[in-house]
């Protein structure tokens, strides 16, 4: 069996991935994670999307929120607030251990992908999680005249700003992390997880050699729509799609990815979009895409793995 490569953002991706590792041997799964959301806070390197995947696959994620560590406390953050630091980014105490460990490894000279592999090992995760790049790629949000860091837009302002443009600082110089291109070449299937196409998947595609490798790939590329009934299941994908001139729908997402996709999986409530998406030259599977339970994730992962 070849590799299965998944391009992944945060919460939505993690829900599909927790199903995938139960459907295929985890060692065969290579997850290419978004680092556009990465940030430095209090001198610590935070990789929010990688962490959501780490916590989910390690079985320690806060199931209610979909991010952070289950049952975490916020005493360090409270104290940082007392010291006068901003505390809008909700760093839990257990969560902090990961950021401290990652920052220490980076300080010791490891690359982000080496540090991520170490964290996977420490958390007994068998799947391969690789950040899209070891070089800094930072998602920036332009909101009319203002340019915001991603976390400023996403967490501090709660995605309230109207997004007029998104760009990926550093992308033009960034190289794929070791293993990314190799995994794509060995892939029997590539999956584009149900993540925000503009804010979570586009930063990965902004690295030109990843995008061109995908464009010429023989293996099927199967996407799962993050938009159901015109609404994002999580986050601002629908609003960002609309404000950037895309239709906020499963069709809009398919159109965004265009010829990259060979197959797109959409929800039953979006069955009406099937024909329009097929007209883009993309095969379509209609199924229940909601992943409330682990069983839902496993079922959807099976649909993804059998899409032809």
- Contact residues for a copy of itself (CB under 8 A)? 42-44, 69, 72-73, 75-80, 82-85, 92-98, 100-101, 103-104, 107-108, 119, 122-123
Q: Which is nearer to a copy of itself, 43 or 245 (CB)?
A: 43
Q: Which is nearer to a copy of itself, 52 or 240 (CB)?
A: 52
Query: What order do you get walking across the sheet with 146-149 strand by strand?
Result: 146-149, 138-143, 165-169
Question: What is the nearest approach in angstroms of a copy of itself to the Cβ of residue 78?
Answer: 7
Question: What is the nearest approach in angstroms of a copy of itself to the Cβ of residue 143?
Answer: 28
Q: Which is nearer to a copy of itself, 75 or 208 (CB)?
A: 75
Question: What is the nearest approach in angstroms of a copy of itself to the Cβ of residue 108?
Answer: 8
Q: CA-to-CA distance for 50 and 31, rounded, in angstroms? A: 10
Q: Which is nearer to a copy of itself, 1 or 83 (CB)?
A: 83
Q: Which is nearer to a copy of itself, 50 or 96 (CB)?
A: 96
Question: What is the nearest approach in angstroms of a copy of itself to the Cβ of residue 101?
Answer: 6
Question: What is the nearest approach in angstroms of a copy of itself to the Cβ of residue 109?
Answer: 12
């Amino acid at each position: 069996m070849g590799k299965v490569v998944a391009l992944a953002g945060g919460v939505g991706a993690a829900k599909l991935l927790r199903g995938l590792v139960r459907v295929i041997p985890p060692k065969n799964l290579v997850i290419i994670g978004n680092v556009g959301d990465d940030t430095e806070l209090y001198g610590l390197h935070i990789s929010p999307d990688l962490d959501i995947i780490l916590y989910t696959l390690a079985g320690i994620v806060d199931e209610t929120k979909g991010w952070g560590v289950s049952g975490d406390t916020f005493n360090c953050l409270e104290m940082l607030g007392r010291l006068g630091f901003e505390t809008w980014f909700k760093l839990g105490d257990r969560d902090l251990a990961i950021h401290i460990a990652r920052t220490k490894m980076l300080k010791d000279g490891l690359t982000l992908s080496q540090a991520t592999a170490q964290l996977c090992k420490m958390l007994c995760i068998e799947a391969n999680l690789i950040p899209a790049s070891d070089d800094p790629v930072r998602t920036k949000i332009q909101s009319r005249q203002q340019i915001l860091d991603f976390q400023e837009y996403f967490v501090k302002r709660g995605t309230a700003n109207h997004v007029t443009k998104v760009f990926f600082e550093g992308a033009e110089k960034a190289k794929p992390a070791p293993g990314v291109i190799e995994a794509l070449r060995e892939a029997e299937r590539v999956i584009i997880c149900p993540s925000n196409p503009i804010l979570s998947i586009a930063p990965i595609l902004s690295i030109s050699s990843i995008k061109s490798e995908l464009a010429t790939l023989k293996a099927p590329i199967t996407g799962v729509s993050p938009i159901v009934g015109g609404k994002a299941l999580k986050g601002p994908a629908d609003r960002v799609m609309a404000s950037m001139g895309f239709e906020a729908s499963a069709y809009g997402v398919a159109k965004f990815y265009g010829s990259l996709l060979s197959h797109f999986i959409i929800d039953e409530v979006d069955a009406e979009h099937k024909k329009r998406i097929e007209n883009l030259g993309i095969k379509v599977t209609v199924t229940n895409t909601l992943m409330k339970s682990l069983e839902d994730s496993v079922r959807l992962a099976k649909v993804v793995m059998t899409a032809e």
